[in-house]
Structure 1
Amino acid sequence: MLVTQYPVFQRFWYPVLPMADLADGPQSFTLLGQPLVLWLTEDGTPAALKDRCCHRSAKLSMGIVQNGGVRCPYHGWAYDREGTCTHVPQLDPGAAIPKTYRVESFQCQERYGYVWVCLSPDPLRPLPEIPEAADPNNRLIPQFYEPWHCSGLRVMENSFDNAHFSIVHAASFGVTEQPKPAKSEIVPLELGLKVYATVPVVNPPIQQQILNIPDSLTVREVESTWYVPFSRTLKITYPNGLMHLIFTAATPVSDSTSQIVQFCVRNDTEADASAASIIAFDRQVVDEDKLVLESTDYNTPVDVTVEQHMPSDQPGIVMRRQLAALIKAHETDLLPA
């Protein structure tokens, strides 16, 4: 499955940039092969346009923010958040700007500290709702923002795969003596998936300190949610009541590259466990996954007969079947010219 070949994937919201990055002026990002320019308007909300001036195709992301709009670095043409050209320095004062002077705009909003973009005016699903992130008693910790050379579907399947823990994560939390994966309760949604499991884990000394758990062996109560197509939450609850919820998005830059956006939400404080120590442990786990996932074929098949499977692959099989059905239901959609 090559995501840029199916227009239906343009009808979902994706996190593309940390909001903080826009403080320095216009920024560029490529979503599903579409180059974007993003900036903050006068009211502090983000805006997104195609990253090409309609005059001579210069990158608007190389320009500056001026009067709440973005100004082209080549001839100074300025555009508002709707993509309408609002100023052409070379025209006589008071001259009307032709209505054809415009750039394609895209839906854009802020959520969870990130800029989200939908390339279609008609999204199939709203942004993921994460109640734990909205709870003022919890803290949100930004973790990772980096490109991975693999498909979003591989990242999502891996997130629901209990069978790789004892192998891939043997150095972090996997129980090497127990390669048989924990059983899961799988609940398919109309577009998405929930999985519940009780997973035995090893807690190395640094993790015992972070979790305030003095035991090297314990269990995680896990509730995982897949948001079609390439986002998920992993909500882990430990025996002492600690909640560690991880949100991960594999935002599709191209067919072969995904931008990994990850943050966590916890119901403890910095005094209980520093953000730096939490990020350090999750970094180890993420790097273990990345090493393997970047070795996989990014053209991930949604046809379940193409690759071989085992019983614990059921969440991934559900994902593939849902995406195959989604593509088929929208196969008459046309890519924009």
Structure 2
Amino acid sequence: MERRWVELLFKRGGIMLVTKQAVFKRFWYPVIPTAELSGEPKPFVLLDQPIALWLDSEGKPAAVEDRCCHRTAKLSLGKVVSGNISCAYHGWTFNSSGTCVSVPQQPNGSISGNYKVKSYQACDRYGYVWVCLGEPIAEIPNITEAADPNYRQIHEFYEPWNCAGLRVMENELDMAHPTFVHTATFGSEEHLTPDVMEFTETEWELHYRSVLGVANPAEQQQNLNIEQAETVRTIDGIWFLPFTVKLRIAYPNGLVHIIVNTMTPIDDSTSQMVQFCLRNDTESEAKTSDIIAFDRAVTLEDKRILETTDWDVPLDIAQEQHMLTDKPGIIIRRKIAALLKAHGEVEQTKVS
């Protein structure tokens, strides 16, 4: 793996590898559905860092390095005892701050202050545990509709993809691919490009508005409560630096379907897709299972293509060719490049 990485660095210009730039550790990422922590600890790998997750005595998520300081066994193999995590090897027990609070073999002795494991900030948001490996430089993306009683939230996907999160972010704002990728779900041969493309940048976000003509197969007409084979999607998208996007899709009949997608970086070549949606309708108007099934079909069409792309994404736009509808992706790459520069980092260019 290391040899291939070196060869790629020489072969190409500047590329982005998420585990090689420390600034990515300073963002929040959803790592696991909170409901999955109701029992024993769970493992996860975030930016190449193995972590163990559990709920403390107050029901709040906790995250520590998945490595006991005693004999390096994985803490995620252990159990939760009174809101603390207990190692399966010798029973050493640690609180959410990573401090050892119990050594069964010395019940009456003092516990050394060196008996600690590294802990990380964790919180519950939108039904997922979010973790930051460093000192946060940005807030968790604010999805206002998640607190709006007029919207229902539907948890959709939680799975690893063999691609870079940046590729997925660009894809979400790419309105030229539906005609070719989403031929079975909503892509229209009559609408190769959007009728409207507008952009606004902030320090941590890119706001994108587009209007795209789409096709509606029978199952989608049922989900949308319409009887039209052709209609338009008005899309107000927000990309949150680095790997979260919110797509607010509005239809002429007043329905709003919001997709929130985060590609949590596991390592340089693998990302965990976390996706949920919000809709201003009810179960009686559109079944949750049908909504998930349709969005799943769309997502699998993307996955088939994106898993064939190079995961070492060049931030230097001269390294790939572009067209007009690639503008959101170009802005994203430039903002990430500016982030790295601002924090004293540059994308990898060569190995000496």
Q: Which residue of 2 aligns with 1:103?
A: 117
Q: Deviations over 1:26-73 (max 9, x none)?
A: 000000000000001111110000000000000000000001100000
Cα offset, 1:138, TM superposition: 1.2
Q: How does 1:201-220 map to 2 (within 5 A)?
A: 201-220=214-233
Q: Is the 8 A contact 2:21 2:345 kept in 1?
A: no
Q: Any residues of structure 2 matched to 1:1-337 within 5 Å, and which?
A: 1-91=16-106, 93-120=107-134, 122-331=135-344
SS at match of 1:312: helix
2:190 alignment partner, SS class: coil
Contact 2:193 2:325 in 1 (8 A): no
Letter aligned with residue 126 of structure 2? Y
Q: What is the root-mean-square deviation in Å for CA atoms of aligned residues?
A: 1.0
Normalised to the residue count of structure 2, the TM-score between the two structures is 0.93
CA distance in 1, matches of 2:79, 2:313: 39
| Structure 1 residue identity aligned to 2:277 | C
Give me the TM-score of the superposition, normalised by structure 1: 0.97
Deviation at 1:332, TM superposition (A): 5.6
| Native 8 Å contact 2:170 2:328 kept in 1 | yes
Amino acid at match of 1:68: G
Partner Cα separation in structure 2 for residue 43 and residue 94 of structure 1: 27
Tell me, yes or no, if the aligned pair for 1:188 and 1:194 is still in contact at 8 Å.
yes
Q: Deviations over 1:255-293 (max 9, x none)?
A: 000000000001111000000000000011000000000
Aligned equivalents of 1:332, 1:238: Cα separation in 2:
42
Secondary structure in 1 aligned to 2:199?
strand
Give aligned-pair identity as a percent. Answer: 53
Deviation at 1:95, TM superposition (A): 1.4
- For 2:331 and 2:196, locate their aligned partners in 1 and report how far apart those are by CA, in whole Å: 16
Q: In structure 1, what residue type is equivalent to 2:17?
A: L
Three-state SS of the structure 1 residue aligned to 2:335 is helix
Task: Indicate if the aligned counterparts of 1:232 and 1:248 stay in contact, CA closer than 8 A.
Answer: yes
Could you give the per-residue CA deviations for residues 102-157 of structure 1, whole angstroms, max 9, x where no partner exists?
0000000000000000001x211100111111112211000000000000000000
Bigger CA drift: 302-311 or 171-180? 171-180
Unpaired segments of 5 or more residues in structure 2? 1-15, 347-352
Q: Is residue 226–residue 232 contact of structure 1 (8 Å, CA) maintained in 2?
A: yes
The aligned counterpart of 2:4 is none
